[in-house]
């Protein structure tokens, strides 16, 4: 239960980061049109700074959730960030959210709950061997490398989806490093964290994942990259949890069938909510001169 609570807090915190930092970006004056001017404006904008605080909270909450829970539990729950983002846009920004969009959010909740109940993930051993890590990292590294190569050709939609998939795999590996680091911290204290490799690997995969996410968003439409990110990450994390940490899922034929069905429903909800969420995210304004345009088209929900 502790892991579920902190995973939900991490998802909510990340949704706050996405909304606040995006609002800071679209609120900047027209004269802030170059890289350094944009950066200078953003670091003085309270919305962006508060969003930065929520970003730190996202990492802390996820780390606590991963220490108390399994990758197969925590990472799928992080998909609820989409729902929290919708809620923030509806009740804070007063964006119009259609019923079908809320229905898609409901599908995510139903699918997620169905998977967690049917699969019933259980904790395994907490000490992956060197060979476990080597095989996990080499196999995922090869897949990510191939996906990056494939992303060099094709339509923008295809490139965005392929890069989003690569980023999701890297984020799943990063979550595994976070879990290993928190386990090490709890067992041996802070002094042991910085003399072992997981914490440094966590930084490397965090940077690489961020770069791949930005590349995916730049390569093509959000409707292609976001579902790939939010669907592949939980699946890759479940596989890593089983392989590295010995996590166990209910393996009866009925449980497997219901688990797969739950994941399919959740994935369908992610795709639909990405397609149906309103595309505009702008600050509310009480009054505007007649003929003044309100904001610009931006991505619907953060990741």
pLDDT mean over 274-278: 84
222 against 260, higher pLDDT: 260
Cβ–Cβ under 8 Å, residues 276 and 100: yes
The pLDDT confidence band at residue 280, using thresholds 50, 70 and 90, is low
- Scanning the structure block, which residue is given the tokens 């999701």? 168
Q: Is the pLDDT of residue 302 over 80?
A: no
- Scanning the structure block, which residue is given the tokens 């995973």? 7
Q: Is the pLDDT of residue 223 over 70?
A: yes
Cβ–Cβ under 8 Å, residues 273 and 101: yes
The confidence score (pLDDT) of residue 43 equals 64
The total of other beta-carbon atoms located within 10 Å of residue 113's CB is 13
The pLDDT confidence band at residue 133, using thresholds 50, 70 and 90, is very high
User: Which range (160-164, 275-279, 284-288) has the least confidence?
Assistant: 284-288
Cβ–Cβ under 8 Å, residues 124 and 248: yes
- Please give the Cα distance from 280 to 240 (Å, whole number): 36
Supply the DSSP string of 127-180, one letter for each residue.
---HHHHHHHHHHHHHHHHHHHHHTTSS-HHHHHHHHHHHHHHHHHHHHHHHHH
Q: Is the pLDDT of residue 160 over 70?
A: yes
- Please give the Cα distance from 154 to 229 (Å, whole number): 19
Q: Which of 175, 190, 153 is nearest to 240 (CA)?
A: 175
The confidence score (pLDDT) of residue 34 equals 47
Cβ–Cβ under 8 Å, residues 286 and 294: no
Supply the DSSP string of 163-224, one letter for each residue.
HHHHHHHHHHHHHHHHHHHHHHHHHH-HHHHTTSSHHHHHHHHHHHHHHHHHHHHHHS-HHH
- Please give the Cα distance from 152 to 219 (Å, whole number): 10
Cβ–Cβ under 8 Å, residues 261 and 113: no
pLDDT mean over 54-72: 91
Mind listing the pLDDT tens digit for each residue in 29-48?
555 444 555 556 556 667 77
């Amino acid at each position: 239960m502790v892991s579920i609570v902190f995973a939900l807090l991490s998802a909510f915190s990340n949704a706050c980061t996405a909304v606040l930092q995006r609002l800071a970006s679209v609120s900047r004056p027209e004269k802030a049109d170059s890289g350094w001017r944009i950066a200078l404006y953003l670091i003085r904008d309270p919305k962006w700074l508060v969003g930065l605080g929520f970003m730190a909270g996202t990492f802390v909450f996820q780390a606590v959730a991963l220490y108390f829970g399994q990758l197969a539990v925590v990472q799928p729950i992080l998909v609820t960030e989409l729902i929290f983002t919708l809620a923030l846009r509806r009740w804070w920004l007063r964006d119009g959210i259609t019923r079908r969009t809320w229905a898609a959010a409901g599908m995510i909740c139903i699918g997620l709950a169905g998977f967690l109940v049917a699969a019933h993930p259980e904790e395994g051993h907490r000490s992956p061997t060197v060979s476990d890590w080597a095989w996990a990292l080499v196999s995922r590294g090869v897949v990510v490398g191939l996906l990056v190569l494939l992303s060099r050709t094709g339509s923008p939609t295809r490139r965005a989806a392929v890069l989003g998939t690569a980023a999701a795999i890297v984020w799943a590996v990063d979550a595994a490093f976070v879990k290993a680091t928190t386990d090490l911290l709890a067992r041996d204290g802070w002094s042991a964290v910085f003399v072992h490799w997981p914490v440094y690997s966590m930084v490397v995969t965090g940077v690489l994942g961020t770069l791949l996410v930005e590349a995916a968003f730049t390569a093509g439409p959000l409707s292609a990259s976001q579902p790939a990110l939010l669907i592949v990450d939980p699946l890759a994390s479940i596989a890593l949890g089983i392989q590295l940490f010995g996590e166990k899922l209910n393996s009866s034929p009925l449980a497997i069938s219901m688990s797969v069905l739950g994941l399919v429903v959740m994935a369908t909800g992610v795709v639909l909510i990405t397609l149906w969420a309103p595309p505009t995210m702008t600050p509310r304004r009480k009054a505007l001169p007649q003929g003044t345009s309100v904001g610009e088209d931006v991505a619907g929900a953060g990741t």
